[in-house]
Amino acid sequence: MASLNWISPRSRSPFLRGISHIPYILGDDDEYIDGMNLWLQERCSGRIQLSKGIVNNIATYQRSRNTIRAIGYNLTYFAGWLYCAECHPDHGVIHWTDVARWHVEDLYREHMVQGFWTQEYWATANKFSLNFPTTIRTRLREVEACYEWLATESLVEWPKATPPLAHRQEALRNSIAALTNALPGSMQIEPGEPKYKRRQDPGDWSPLTPDQLKALVKYIDKPVGELTLRLYLWTGMRLDELIENTLVPGSLHLRSAKLRALAEPTFPQVAYQLRYDVRDNRMIGVLPDEKAAFESGEKMLPLRILGKGDKIRTVHVPGDLMRDIWRYYVLKRPKVSTEHNSAMFINKRGKKLAAWSVSYAISEAKKKILAVLGEDIPITPHVLRHTFACLSLEAVLSGRAREEGHDSSHLTQDQIERYGGEAVVVIQELLGHAMAKDTARYLKQLSKGKAGLRYLEFFSAAMKETLGNDASF
């Protein structure tokens, strides 16, 4: 199998020490994979930018350590797949110069989608598909961009001739059979217990009740804990998004190196003055200013944020919440150094609020509620985002039911899905979900909760009528 390696930063050679941050890939028998390593040198040195799968040669800029590791492992996983003969038994081990596009798009992609090319499968025989938008697509783009670039350098032939569909389908069937038979006999009989835990589906959590929310607001630390909690509930932002998109208008700010390297939006390379302007991409993440909060007649103020996957979306902050935030800024926010002056929320040490600080404040509030009220609330920061989605959907269901003259507490499943389906697209945008099915999970849960209980009452009444009141057990 292939492995990702780094040169020791304590090497005696000054040249080697200078490239110790750039990894290199070794295959079986410590074979140095020339083409992929040449690509890694160019990519990790910042001389190549990959934007939406398109390779652009650009001026050198510094990449973060995490980005370099991600690039290296994306190619290492593919190199390991090339050395695994069971993945393509009709071809055996594939040399890096012999790779064809259909190897990547048909075989490699399908093995990840079906869950064969995962640690989980080889450890326990459980086939868990990798996440397509965040994992599979990223790996495929890196591999294909690498080979497109190698072709421009005349190091490989790309793309090669594609065999007929029947041949590709037969190769896939043979590979799946070989991967299944590659496991020990004991593992083929019955899949083992999952070893690698996937992130828990937020749909498995129940939203907080109004009483639980009131208790949480009452016992969380003030003012920063309460303000971030309310902002979380009103916007549905992820925790990291809330931390990074609460900038103070009027302050000087230097974007992080990672954000300055984005192709779109383009942020200035130097510190610049922030202002509230939803039309200017340089001002993404800047909170509404005092004038907008106190003088605008708008009940909901738009805030453009940069979210997961560097996607831009708009959330809305209530005017009264923004006024409370500005009262905190003027009256209670501690004085801070220039380095942290552009962050609205500051911790007790005078530094920018971190994500763990919000998680800790919520955890401490949970402990207080348990001690005072005796109720253990199943709360994490992400549950607040889940609560935002469910409350938004419930509000839409109630509002649409009133418009059509129905009782919102006695909606049929068809009505719930019809009314809620209209809101899923809007809430998907607010939450920043890449796929509508992720948002539809909330509607499915509400449907089971609202309609399910009503139908259970029908079932109970029918059972009593059938069995009679004298039935004993």
Same domain, 251 and 180: no
What is the number of H-type helices and E-type strands within the chain?
19, 8
**Are 335 and 457 found together in one domain?**
no
**CA 252 from chain center: how many Å?**
29
Are residues 167 and 25 both part of a single domain? yes
419 close to 400: Cβ distance less than 8 angstroms: yes
202 is a domain residue: no
Q: Do both 107 and 238 map to the same domain?
A: no
Examine the fold and report which residue of 286, 319, 354 is the final residue of a domain before the chain moves on: 354
Q: Are residues 234 and 337 in the same domain?
A: yes
**Res 389 pLDDT > 90:** no
Per-residue confidence (pLDDT) for residue 386, from 0 to 100: 78
Establish if 142 belongs to a structural domain.
yes
176 in the same domain as 34: yes
Does the residue 428 lie in any domain? yes
Q: How confident is the model at residue 472 (pLDDT cuts 50, 70, 90)?
A: very low
Give the integer Cα–Cα distance in Å for 165 and 425. Answer: 37
Q: Say which residues have a Cβ less than 8 Å from residue 41's Cβ, sequence separation at least 6.
A: 19, 22
Residue where a domain terminates, one of 152, 174, 189: 189
Rounded Cα distance between 101 and 152, Å, is: 15
What integer best gives the mean pLDDT of the chain?
82
Backbone angles phi, psi at 255, to 5 degrees: -65, 155
- Ramachandran quadrant class, 4 (left: phi over 0; alpha: psi -120 to 50; beta: rest): beta
Domain housing 299 = 218-354
- Contacts of residue 347, defined as CB under 8 A and 6 or more positions apart, other chains included, come to 224, 353, 354, 357
Residues 37 and 155 occupy one common structural domain: yes
How confident is the model over 258-294, as pLDDT tens digits?
Answer: 888 887 888 999 999 999 999 999 999 999 999 999 9
Q: How many residues does the chain have?
A: 473
Maximum mean pLDDT: which of 280-294, 334-348, 412-426: 280-294
- Return the pLDDT at 330: 93
- Does 207 reside within a domain? no
Percent of the chain clearing pLDDT 90 (strictly above): 36
* Model confidence band, residue 436 (pLDDT cutoffs 50, 70, 90): low
pLDDT band at residue 74, thresholds of 50, 70 and 90?
A: very high
**Lowest model confidence (mean pLDDT) among 259-263, 347-351, 437-441:** 437-441
pLDDT tens, position by position, 12-29: 777 777 778 889 999 877
pLDDT at 203 over 60: no
Secondary structure class of 1 (helix, strand, coil): coil
pLDDT at position 460 over 60: no
In a domain, 283, yes or no: yes
Domain boundary among 172, 189, 206: 189
Mean pLDDT of 60-75: 85
Whether residue 72 is contained in a domain is answered as: yes
73 with 147, same domain: the answer is yes
Residue 298 lies in a domain: yes
Q: Are residues 40 and 164 in the same domain?
A: yes
Query: Is there a single domain that holds both residue 126 and residue 183?
Result: yes
Q: Does one domain contain both 139 and 258?
A: no
Same domain as 223, residue 90? no
Stated as kind and residue range, the H or E segment containing 26 is strand 24-26
**Confidence band, pLDDT 50/70/90 cuts, at residue 397:** confident
Domain count, the chain: 3
Averaged pLDDT for residues 201-229:
81
Q: Is residue 209 part of a domain?
A: no
Per-residue pLDDT, 171: 92
Q: What pLDDT is stored for residue 17 in this prediction?
A: 75
DSSP 8-state class, residue 194: -
Model confidence band, residue 141 (pLDDT cutoffs 50, 70, 90): very high
